């Protein structure tokens, strides 16, 4: 399999502050890779290093078989974290300009632009001025600008931030279509749920260091289910009795729902049977492992200093929009 992206021993500091430390990353062609981590973890810096907008203090960046992204510019699509357009320019003029810079002739880019904009719910805006569009619309226009020239490698920095749920779904659809076309995709997000949904592989960065790099499938397998969610039929039922079910080590109640944490090695099926016998359930399910859990687990394992609750709160506060 060909390698679309290869980073070796990449380091970058801004003054005293280390932004990226010893980053190793290999993305095979055709893979969709999610770069996750809380804000300030070094995601944007890593992406800028890949794009040769910043240059590493040490290490090498290989993109699409070239020694730097500069030699493969026309084959890369890039959506930066900081969105920007020429305010006075018309949407089509702007998109045509971007496609032209990437070497795509107008005859090819125009039908594709129309098609992509329509897929994102933006019909008939080609002749509008950029300054007359809403922020969310501009973001979608810019996304179109990044994939208009049918890149082999698509790099998206926080593609979903600031979008409404409908737009997020439309955008996911377009990204999935690009993925089926065989495009290698690297996208960063701090919303773990989005990565879970779209990625073949997850790379997790925390404080400038890579702390996880694993295919999504093996990640799911590796982390055993250890929690069961229980919602009673009768909202007033006492859930305290569930604490005594064998194998349950702790019980947390919130919003009329109980979350049972299981001891290692416990069979979830036995716990479910026993719990249903004690309280009549409306819904019982095994809590799927989320990337958030994985992330919290890894970070706690590395530095005991941060409490789990604080970390979760940090992540929730940052994401806000768990789509």
Partner 1 sequence: MFNRIRLVATREFLTTVTSKGFLIGVFVMPLIGLALTFAIPKIMAQRGAQITVEVALIESSGTLADTLRRELDPEVIIARRNAGRRAAMEQAAPGTGDMAEKAPAPQLTVPKFIVKVLPAGSTADAEKGWLTAQDIGERARRALLVVPPEAITQASPGADYGLYQLYAPRNLPEDAEDMLQDAMRVTLTTERLRAGGLDPALVQKATHVPQPRTVVVAPDGRRQAPAGLNRALPFIMGILLFMGVMIGGQALMTSTIEEKSSRVVEVLLAAVSPLELMWGKLLGQLGVGLVMMSVYITLGVLALMQFAMFGLLDPLLILWLLVFFLVAYLVFGALMLAIGAAVSQLADAQSLMGPVMMLLITPYILTPFIGRQPDSTFSVVASFIPPISPFVILARLASSSPPPVWQVLLSLAVSVGGACIAVWFAAKVFRIGLLLHGKPPSFGTLIKWARMS
- The answer to whether residue 86 forms part of the interface with partner 1 (CB under 8 A) is yes
Q: Taking CB under 8 A as the rule, does residue 133 contact partner 1?
A: no
Q: Is residue 123 a contact residue for partner 1 (CB under 8 A)? A: no
CA-CA-CA-CA torsion sign (298, 300, 301, 302): positive
Span interacting with partner 1, options 45-53, 173-181, 251-259, 271-279, rule CB under 8 A: 45-53
For partner 1, the closer CB: 178 or 292 = 178
Q: ∠ at Cα 11 (147, 14), nearest 5°?
A: 90
Q: How far is CA 57 from CA 4, 6, 136, 193, 209, in A?
A: 22, 16, 36, 33, 15
Residue 88 or residue 288: which is nearer to partner 1 going by CB?
88
Which residues fall within 8 angstroms of residue 201, CB to CB, at 6 or more apart? 27, 31, 32, 33, 34, 213, 214, 215, 216
Residue of the chain from 54, 198, 228, 291 that contacts partner 1 (CB under 8 A): 54
Cβ nearer to partner 1, comparing 7 with 138: 138
Binding of residue 82 to partner 1 (CB under 8 A): yes
* Residue 175 in contact with partner 1, rule: CB under 8 A: no
Using only the alpha carbons of the chain, give its radius of gyration: 23
Distance, CA of 303 to chain centre: 24
In the complex with partner 1, which residue's Cβ is closer, 53 or 280?
53
Candidate residues 100, 162, 165, 173; the one interacting with partner 1 per rule CB under 8 A: 100
Instruction: Find the shortest distance in angstroms from Cβ 114 to partner 1.
Output: 20
Q: Is 246 in the site for partner 1 (CB under 8 A)?
A: no
Among 6, 83, 129, 312, binds partner 1 (CB under 8 A): 83
In angstroms, the Cα distances linking 168 to 139, 175, 312 are: 11, 10, 23
Verify binding: residue 90, partner 1, rule CB under 8 A. no
Q: H-type helices in the chain, by residue range?
A: 43-50, 91-101, 106-119, 135-147, 165-180, 192-198, 216-222, 268-278, 291-302, 308-319
| Spatial distance between the Cα atoms of 25 and 8, rounded to a whole number of angstroms | 7
Name which of 86 and 310 has its Cβ closer to partner 1: 86
Is 294 a binding residue for partner 1 by CB under 8 A? The answer is: no
Q: By CB under 8 A, tell whether 141 contacts partner 1.
A: no
- The whole-angstrom separation of Cα 257 and Cα 247 is 19
Judged by CB, which is closer to partner 1: 144, or 168?
144
158: left (phi over 0), alpha (psi -120 to 50) or beta: left
Binding site for partner 1 (CB under 8 A): 48, 51, 53-54, 70, 73-74, 76, 78, 80, 82-89, 97-98, 100-103, 142, 145-146
């Amino acid at each position: 399999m060909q390698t679309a992206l290869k980073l070796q021993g990449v380091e970058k500091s801004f003054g005293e502050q280390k932004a990226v430390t010893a980053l190793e990353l290999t993305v095979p062609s055709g893979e969709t890779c999610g770069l996750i981590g809380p804000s300030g973890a070094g995601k944007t810096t890593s992406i800028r290093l890949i794009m040769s907008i910043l240059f590493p203090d040490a290490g090498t960046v290989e993109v699409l078989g070239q020694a730097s992204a500069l030699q493969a510019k026309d084959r890369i699509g890039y959506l930066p974290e900081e969105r920007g357009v020429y305010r006075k320019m018309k949407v089509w003029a702007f998109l045509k300009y971007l496609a032209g810079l990437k070497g795509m002739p107008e005859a090819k880019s125009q039908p594709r632009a129309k098609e992509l904009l329509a897929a994102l719910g933006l019909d008939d805006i080609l002749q509008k001025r950029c300054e007359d569009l809403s922020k969310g619309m501009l973001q979608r226009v810019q996304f179109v600008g990044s994939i208009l020239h049918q890149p082999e490698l698509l790099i998206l920095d926080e593609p979903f931030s600031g979008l409404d749920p409908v737009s997020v779904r439309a955008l996911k659809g377009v990204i999935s279509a690009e993925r089926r076309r065989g495009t290698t995709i690297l996208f960063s997000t701090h919303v773990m749920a989005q990565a879970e949904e779209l990625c073949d592989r997850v790379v997790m960065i925390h404080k400038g260091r890579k702390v996880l790099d694993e295919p999504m499938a093996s990640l799911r397998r590796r982390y055993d289910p250890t929690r069961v969610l229980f919602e009673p039929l009768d909202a007033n039922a006492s859930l305290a009795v569930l604490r005594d079910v064998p194998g349950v080590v702790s019980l947390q109640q919130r919003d009329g729902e109980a979350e049972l944490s299981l001891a290692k090695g416990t069979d979830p099926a036995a716990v479910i049977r026993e719990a249903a016998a004690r309280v009549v359930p409306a819904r019982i399910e095994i809590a799927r492992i989320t990337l958030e859990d994985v992330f919290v687990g890894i970070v706690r394992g590395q530095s005991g200093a941060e409490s789990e609750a604080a970390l979760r709160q940090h992540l929730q506060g940052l994401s806000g929009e768990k789509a």
